[in-house]
């Protein structure tokens, strides 16, 4: 059976079983067909593009001007891995959001910003009537902090790390923690030396830490050999 080559128009013989597949008379014509330019359109911006016939055959209609067009097109439902998750509204801004089924019941916010806005001020579970915004009084100065650190042996009263070790590791030195969480109360028995990490940790589960530090202070004042104890 005879057919015509699509590239050189040469007539050649082919078996009847392959008549639908045989379009070229030789390998040279086959590879020449792969180099042939075909006009296609970008799926995103519809711009006309020239692509090799072999690429068009392999990719079908998935052609784009550049990576930017491809990324813009493959957003949302056009993405090959798109999953139609259930929808709900953000409780802060009302924007529609999607969440996986395992999180759908508990999810409330569309972003971290909305979550932060919802938990700000009185809505925060650690809110203490705005006491954290109180300005430190004048007596809470470097000399008082220094005395408290010396009284406590220049070590963190939680983890035991020393002021020198913190500085050697290029970290902030010891800080002074207010046991009742009220900055305005600068009585020596309400102040205790901690590292920055432990000071931050003490802002959670405050009842536990308040009792812990009160016991620490009582033990310190029972020890008559503590430096600067008489001046505090």
Q: What is the DSSP string of 160-176?
A: --BHHHHHHTT----EE
Contacts of 119 (CB under 8 A, 6+ apart): 125
Asked if 178 and 190 touch (Cβ cutoff 8 Å), the reply is: yes
The residue among 58 and 95 whose pLDDT is bigger is 95
Question: Has residue 125 been placed in a domain?
Answer: no
Same domain, 171 and 144: yes
Q: Report the C-alpha gap between 172 and 163 in whole angstroms.
A: 9
| pLDDT band with cut points at 50, 70 and 90 for residue 61 | confident
Same domain, 149 and 209: yes
Same domain, 206 and 169: yes
Residue 61 in tokens? 């209609």
Q: Which residue has the tokens 């999607």?
A: 98
The residue among 121 and 162 whose pLDDT is bigger is 162
pTM over the 0.75 mark: no
Same domain, 178 and 154: yes
Same domain, 23 and 91: no
Same domain, 16 and 61: yes
Highest mean pLDDT among 39-53, 122-136, 200-214: 200-214
Find the length of the chain: 232
Same domain, 142 and 215: yes
Question: Has residue 172 been placed in a domain?
Answer: yes
Same domain, 138 and 218: yes
Same domain, 173 and 100: no
Best CA proximity match to 158, nearest among 198, 190, 189, 197: 198
Asked if 195 and 159 touch (Cβ cutoff 8 Å), the reply is: yes
Same domain, 173 and 143: yes
Q: Nearest 5°: CA angle at 230, between 226 and 231?
A: 115
Question: Has residue 174 been placed in a domain?
Answer: yes
Same domain, 73 and 140: no
Same domain, 12 and 67: yes
Asked if 83 and 98 touch (Cβ cutoff 8 Å), the reply is: no
Instruction: Identify the domain containing residue 17 by its residue range.
Output: 2-77
**Per-residue pLDDT tens for 202-229?**
988 899 999 999 999 998 888 755 555 4
Question: Has residue 228 been placed in a domain?
Answer: no
**Per-residue pLDDT tens for 151-198?**
999 999 999 999 999 988 888 889 999 999 888 899 999 999 999 999
Q: Report the C-alpha gap between 155 and 217 in whole angstroms.
A: 14
User: Is the per-residue pLDDT at 230 higher than 50?
Assistant: no
């Amino acid at each position: 059976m005879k057919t015509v080559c699509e590239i050189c128009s040469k007539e050649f013989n082919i078996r009847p079983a392959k008549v639908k597949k045989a379009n070229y008379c030789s390998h040279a014509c086959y590879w020449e067909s792969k180099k042939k330019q075909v006009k296609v359109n970008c799926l995103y911006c519809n711009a006309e593009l020239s692509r090799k016939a072999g690429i068009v055959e392999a990719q079908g209609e998935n052609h784009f001007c550049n990576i930017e067009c491809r990324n813009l097109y493959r957003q949302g439902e056009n993405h090959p891995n798109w999953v139609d998750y259930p929808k709900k509204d953000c409780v802060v801004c009302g924007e529609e959001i999607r969440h996986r089924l395992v999180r759908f019941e508990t999810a409330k916010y569309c972003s971290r910003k909305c979550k932060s806005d919802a938990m700000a001020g009185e809505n925060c579970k650690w809110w203490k009537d705005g006491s954290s915004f109180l300005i430190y009084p004048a007596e809470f100065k470097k000399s008082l902090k220094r005395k408290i650190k010396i009284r406590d042996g220049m070590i963190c009263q939680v983890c035991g790390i020393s002021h020198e070790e913190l500085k050697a590791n290029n970290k902030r030195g010891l800080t002074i923690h207010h046991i009742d969480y009220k900055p305005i109360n600068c009585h020596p028995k309400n102040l205790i030396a901690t590292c920055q990490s432990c000071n931050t940790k003490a802002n959670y589960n405050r009842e536990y830490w308040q009792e812990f530090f009160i016991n620490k202070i009582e033990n310190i004042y029972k020890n008559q050999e503590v430096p600067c104890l008489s001046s505090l």
